[in-house]
A and B are shown apart, each in its own frame.
Chain A
Amino acid sequence: MSTPVLSLRDLVVEIPTRTGVLRPVNGVSFDIAAGEILGVVGESGAGKSMTGNAVIGLLDRPARIVSGEVRLLDQPIQSLRGEALRRLRGKRMGMIFQDPLTSLNPLLTIGDQLTETIREHLDVGQSEARERAIAALDEVGIPAARQRIGSYPHEFSGGMRQRVVIALALCAEPELVIADEPTTALDVSVQAQIIALLKRLCRDRGVAVMLVTHDMGVIAEAADRIAVMYAGGVVELGPVREVITRPFHPYTGGLMASTPGASKGMRRLRQIPGSMPRLDALPDGCPFHPRCERAEAACRENPGPSLAACDGRAACWFPLTEPKEAVS
């Protein structure tokens, strides 16, 4: 098997506060292969965005990586700082955020921003960079790219802006793209366009994608594999079809069942009682046990097992299905 593009091992992020140390990311491990889209899904506070930010080195102080490893192909990058990190970002790692306006400079034309990024990371001249910028815009579906390259970000609609951001993230031919809720701010019809675009470009170029979102539907359509996060840890990891049609972890199961689409014709929706624990009040044992209907004494006393204990699928002492039966 080839080396994964991105590899996380036991990543821990801590935030020291006046009342104690919080761990928004607590021992996260997963790999993403070239050309693969890993969907990282979870509710607010699960640590999914924080994981993405830790990978690209965009943690806001005082949050910091305290242990674990982030590997980009063969290179550990968790301790890179300053110039080395900046060169890696953009060149080898692209970013797409929820709000396209935060990643575009409102004072520069989109052409300037694209050519600047291309010239910074690739050894090409001004005119070649410009041609590449036009090609990139054309590829993400901006109509009349040659005419619109001199436009400013505010002259584009929300969906077109997100296309520009995708062009910007991919123009230096990175190996990894981190997309944090890329379609959340968009309308349904535009969202479908952006997902289709992201999928096509990444497959064609063999880019590894970490797609962070709270929307199960988006993950189901776009991702190859899925990592379900809860209270800072990955509770279930597996191929998207298997996890969604046959979840092992009770949290994943509850999450699927409580989406309105899953309980068609029922008067009431299935619901998970309670809400995600706050980071400063994590329960002992498995963090999900107070909300879990399958919880037993073992769940209260022991922390959730590692994914490895459950054939790499779910971090649970009493999974919904015995993993041995499911793998066939």
Chain B
Amino acid sequence: MSALIRVEDLTRVFDVSKPWLNRVLEREPRALLTAVSEVSFGIEENSVYALVGESGSGKSTIGKIIAGLLSPSRGRVVVDGVDLDRETDKAKIAAVRSDIQMIFQDPYASLNPRWKVRTIIAEPVTVRGGDATGLPERLLEQVGLAARDADKYPHEFSGGQRQRIGIARALASGPRIIVCDEPTSALDVSVQSQVLNLMSDLREELGLTYLFISHDLTVVQHMADKIGVLYLGTLVEEAPRDRLFEDPKHPYTQMIFEAAPRMDAFGREAEPPKGEIPDAINPPPGCPFHPRCPIAVDRCSQERPRLREIGTTRVACHLAE
């Protein structure tokens, strides 16, 4: 089985320098932030691939690049055999683009407050000149709202209901792939479970493929088939869900598993992890995790580890086995 989405050596650099005049006057060099660094992975059709990581890990940047909101600095994204940056046939690109949709994090910012729900949901179809009569009503019922909600404005809905509207919009153009960027992190627990269940149901009904981006390990463990762990823009470990949770190989993965608050850890007095995520503008040399790593050796600060395969796990650590 070949992957529906292939990401190869994806790198994205942001220029975060001050304006030109300030740089000249203050004699500062250009500041470049490498948000994503040589990341490669593949997503099988009809599966859920999750990217987890803390802030600054580059997970949202990868999602935006795959959705087409950002372009890669180096490397490429191949969807269904079409290289999105080198393909010259515009029609092919447009066809692939309309296959990819996105669900956003903030249900209060992702819907235009001045538009009626009907117009919002129909936008992916109407913007391409299609006829969306009846579609918003049908989609609203599919995501668990009522057809008459189409005449309301976003402010009349709760956060969870707005997220359902966002999901309905993502479904309007009949996509095969949906990039979900922290889709439930702004929601309360009881509402989060409703939205996650809805997303699971829709995936089965419509045969969707999800790229699921989250910082919440419990959510990822529930949703994902395969998980990639990101740290400072690099993919440090990737494994099928159960394997990752049973046998994490990378010290960073082990650290966040250990640190995550658990409902069964009453009064836990474990030693918390050391240090914080370094500044991405001046990342550490070698393995980006070595300054915080409990098992680091000299080699880790000099040589950047490549991803190695250990069984079904891919891990970027010199010492993992």
Could you list which residues of chain A lie within 8 angstroms of chain B, going by C-beta atoms? 43-44, 157-160, 187-193, 195-196, 199, 214-218, 220-221, 224, 240-241, 244, 254-256, 258-264, 267-273, 275-276, 278
Pairwise interchain contact B190-A271, C-beta atoms closer than 8 A: yes
Taking A221-B267, A258-B189, A276-B188 as given, write out 10 further A-B residue pairs in contact, using a Cβ cutoff of 8 Å, ordered by the A residue number: A44-B188, A157-B276, A195-B261, A214-B188, A216-B189, A217-B260, A221-B265, A271-B193, A275-B188, A278-B158
Residues on B with C-beta less than 8 A from A267 are 200
Contact: A159 with B276, CB < 8 Å? yes
Q: Report B242-286 CB contacts with A as 1/0, cut-off 8 Å.
A: 000000000000011001111111111111110011000000000
15 intermolecular pairs with C-beta atoms under 8 Å apart = A44-B159, A44-B188, A159-B276, A160-B276, A189-B273, A196-B271, A216-B263, A217-B262, A220-B261, A255-B190, A256-B263, A260-B218, A261-B221, A272-B194, A276-B188
CA distance A259 to B218 in the complex (A): 8
- Total number of residue pairs linking A and B with CB closer than 8 Å: 130
What distance in Å separates the Cβ of B199 from its nearest Cβ neighbour in chain A? Answer: 11
CB-based contact B272/A193 at 8 Å: yes
What's the Cα separation between A278 and B156 when bound, in Å? 11
A260 contact from B54, B219, B276, Cβ within 8 A: B219
B218/A192 in contact, CB under 8 A: no
What is the CA–CA distance of A190 and B54 in the complex, to the nearest angstrom? 10
Which residues of B are found within 8 Å of A196, using beta-carbon distances?
269-272
Given A192-B272, A217-B260, A220-B265, does the pair A275, B54 have CB atoms closer than 8 Å?
A: no
Report the interface size for chain B: residues with CB under 8 A from the other chain. 44
Asked if B55 is at the interface of the complex by the 8 Å CB criterion, the answer is yes
Within 8 Å CB of B55, what residues of A?
Answer: 187
Say whether B273 contacts A260, CB under 8 Å. no
CB-CB under 8 A for A271 and B197, given A188-B260, A216-B263, A217-B261: yes
Q: Is there an interface contact between B268 and A221, defined as CB atoms closer than 8 Å?
A: yes
Find A275's partner among B158, B201, B221, B266 (CB 8 Å cutoff): B158
- Specify which chain B residues have a CB less than 8 angstroms from the CB of A275 in the assembled complex: 158, 160-161, 188, 190-191
Interface-centre pick from A220, A221, A255, A264 (highest chain B CB count, 10 A): A221
* B215 in contact (CB, < 8 A): yes
A188 to B220, CA, bound (A): 14
Q: Give the docked Cα–Cα distance between A221 and B271 (Å).
A: 13
Return chain A residues, CB-CB under 8 Å to B221.
260-261, 264
- Distance between Cα atoms of A187 and B57 in the complex (Å): 11
Are B262 and A261 neighbours in the complex by a CB distance under 8 Å? yes
What residue of chain B has the Cβ atom nearest to residue A187's Cβ?
Answer: B54
Chain A residue with minimal CB distance to B53?
A: A187
